[in-house]
């Protein structure tokens, strides 16, 4: 409290009441004091007390009605802190409201959307108001989608999510494709998103080429499910990169060839492959498991042998990364967050509305990753990736790791 009072006295001494910046500076001081109070209450120690919980500050700009304010947000050594007044998911919620209103004012909404509009008391909104709100969000989302990619991204996850969209007077299912990468410094980044009528090879190829045009480079491993069009796009556009078939999706496919009462036993046997300490041992164990399965489940054994290179590709990389590399689970969690918003809408009024909402959710997720106190992969483990050769390609990396 004493520190906050000193800051206010300093503000009054330096700035006159007629100064245009007085209100903005006053809001900055108030916000800074509020953050210090929140953090102190959380860790049980004030700013200048000896503490092992604080870890400096990170800068962030706060757009307010009195202008942009530069904040110094306290960082914690354990966990993360986001000021309560910043509303970290405000943009995503605004996008959701925009989609609902757009569907409503254009007369293409479902009963679910109509009921939601009534409950929120938004029936008096005009088309011009909705257009302005959508234009504001579109500008932000398009800037995010078209920004340059300036790092190397050794790991890239790719996945698709399906949603119903109205187009040309009918309701059709469209695919939202999303790419997430890990930069060479170990931080995660949402690389891009797009919406198309189907998850075919041409669409995936165009999407990946657009990422490359924006600067995507240095990809050593691409992780996805076994969609044929996506595999071909990876081979065509990300030349030299290895492909990791999502282990979770593979296990579901494999168990589809096994009677239900045997599935637990077969799954346990297959998991012993992934429990091996290195890729060579995993290949030997895979051969043993396939031989054991072949008499009773020949098709499952054949699928296991055919997928050997694809499901064990992640083992050619640092062991510290294996848990995140063997499947698309990191992207599945992101898709569930998008689904939590899209389920509210049900049927989108057009393709642009779908992109607007998904883009806003991904921007907010990127903000949270940026503010996270720890990197996704440590810098020490990422350094192992480039120890042999700073310009190594995906194919060369696998050859080096096998030597």
Region 45-57: mean pLDDT is 62
E-state strands within 203-284: 221-224, 242-245
Predicted confidence (pLDDT) at residue 87 exceeds the cutoff of 50: yes
Q: Rounded distance, CA 189 to CA 363, Å?
A: 10
Q: Where are the beta strands (DSSP E) in 219-279?
A: 221-224, 242-245
Mean pLDDT confidence for 388-402? 44
Query: pLDDT digit string (tens) for 141-166?
Result: 899 999 999 999 999 999 998 988 88
Examine the pLDDT at 396 and tell me if it is beyond 70: no
Domain ranges of the chain: 2-86, 88-242+335-375, 247-326
pLDDT tens per residue, range 264-274: 999 999 999 99
Cross-strand partners of 223: 157, 244
Q: Which residue has the higher pLDDT, 189 or 38?
A: 189
State the pTM of this model.
0.72
**Do β-strands 54-64 and 67-76 pair in parallel, antiparallel, or remain unpaired?**
antiparallel
Within 13 A of 298's CA, how many CA atoms are on the CB side? 1
Residue 388 pLDDT greater than 50, yes or no: no
């Amino acid at each position: 409290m004493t520190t906050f009072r000193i800051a206010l006295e300093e503000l009054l001494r330096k700035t006159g009441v007629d100064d245009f910046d007085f209100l903005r500076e006053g809001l900055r001081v108030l916000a800074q004091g509020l953050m210090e109070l929140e953090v102190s209450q959380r860790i049980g120690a004030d700013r200048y007390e000896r503490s092992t919980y604080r870890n400096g500050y990170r800068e962030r700009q706060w757009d307010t009605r009195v202008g942009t304010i530069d904040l110094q947000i306290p960082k914690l050594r354990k966990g993360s802190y986001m000021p309560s007044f910043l509303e970290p998911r405000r943009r995503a919620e605004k996008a959701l409201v925009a989609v609902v209103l757009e569907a409503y004012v254009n007369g293409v909404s479902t009963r679910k959307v109509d009921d939601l509009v009534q409950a929120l008391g938004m029936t008096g909104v005009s088309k011009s108001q909705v257009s302005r709100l959508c234009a504001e969000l579109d500008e932000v989302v398009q800037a995010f989608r078209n920004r340059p990619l300036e790092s190397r991204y050794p790991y890239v996850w790719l996945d698709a999510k399906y949603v119903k969209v109205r187009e040309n007077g009918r309701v059709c299912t469209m695919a939202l494709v999303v790419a997430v990468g890990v930069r060479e410094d170990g931080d995660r980044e949402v690389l891009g998103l797009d919406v198309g009528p189907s998850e075919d090879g041409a669409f995936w190829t165009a999407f990946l080429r657009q990422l490359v045009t924006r600067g995507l480079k240095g990809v050593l491993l691409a992780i996805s499910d076994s969609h044929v069009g996506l595999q071909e796009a990876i081979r065509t556009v990300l030349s030299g990169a290895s492909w990791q078939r999502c282990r979770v999706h593979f296990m579901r496919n494999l168990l589809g060839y096994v009677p239900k009462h045997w599935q637990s036993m077969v799954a346990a046997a297959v998991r012993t492959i992934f429990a091996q300490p290195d890729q060579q041992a995993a290949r030997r164990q895979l051969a043993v498991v396939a031989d054991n399965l072949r008499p009773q489940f020949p098709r499952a054994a054949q699928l296991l042998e055919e997928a050997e290179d694809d499901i064990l590709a992640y083992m050619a990389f640092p062991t510290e990364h294996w848990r995140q590399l063997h499947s698309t689970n990191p992207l599945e969690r992101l898709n569930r967050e998008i689904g939590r918003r899209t389920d509210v809408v049900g049927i989108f009024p057009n393709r642009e509305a779908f992109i607007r909402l998904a883009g806003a959710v991904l921007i907010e997720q990127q903000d949270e990753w940026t503010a996270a106190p720890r990197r996704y992969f440590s810098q020490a483990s990422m350094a192992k990736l480039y120890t042999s050769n700073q310009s190594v390609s995906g194919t060369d990396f696998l050859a080096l790791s096998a030597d």
